[in-house]
Amino acid sequence: MRNRVLTMCLTVGALAASAALAEPVPDGGMTAAEVAKVLQDQGYRAEITTDSAGDPLIESGVDGTHFSVYFYGCAGEEEPRCNAIQFMAAFDLEDGTSFERINLWNREHRFGRGYLDDENDPFVEMDLDVEYGFTTEALANNLDTWSAVLPGFKEFIGF
């Protein structure tokens, strides 16, 4: 009986600790600083810059591969909140790849949408809606998904 009570206390304590790590995101989305903090807390580098439209942009990497985090639907002057973010990685292949190959990726994989540029170089993206009811824990979970998608995509395209 004593062991069962101790186990229950430890379980409840662990659940409370993990729930404490999940910070709710205010309605309207996330700032680049909030996203960068989650990336850094997960062990990634996160350099905040600005894209060509003036929206925030984060440069990072996983599995030896550079990726970017783009921000969409941004509102606010000083530190804009953005209602969507997108993980994106691009690959420059000497001979590119085919539409058929990218379509096969998209057909067989739920996460990470692939496409080709005008030189048939492959890209992979993953979009997140962060506008309402999102948490830092949800972002960390999606980052784990992205961290699995990226090496799988690299292997699939032969990079």
Give tens-digit pLDDT for 89-108.
999 999 999 999 999 999 99
The answer, yes or no, to whether residue 5 has pLDDT greater than 60, is no
The answer, yes or no, to whether residue 6 has pLDDT greater than 90, is no
Q: Percent of the chain scored above 90 by pLDDT?
A: 82
Q: How confident is the model at residue 77, as a pLDDT?
A: 83
Residue 7 neighbours by CB under 8 Å, 6+ apart? none
Domains and CATH numbers, the chain: 2-157 (3.30.1460.10)
Hey, how many other C-beta atoms are within 10 angstroms of the C-beta on 154?
17
Tokens of 8: 């229950």
Q: How confident is the model at residue 61, as a pLDDT?
A: 95
The answer, yes or no, to whether residue 123 has pLDDT greater than 70, is yes
**Tens digit of each residue's pLDDT (9 = 90 or more) over 13-71:** 444 334 446 899 999 999 999 999 999 999 999 999 999 999 999 999 987 899 999 99
pLDDT confidence bin for 4, thresholds 50/70/90: very low
For residue 24, give Cα distances in angstroms to 21, 27, 30, 78.
10, 9, 10, 21
Q: How confident is the model at residue 62, as a pLDDT?
A: 86
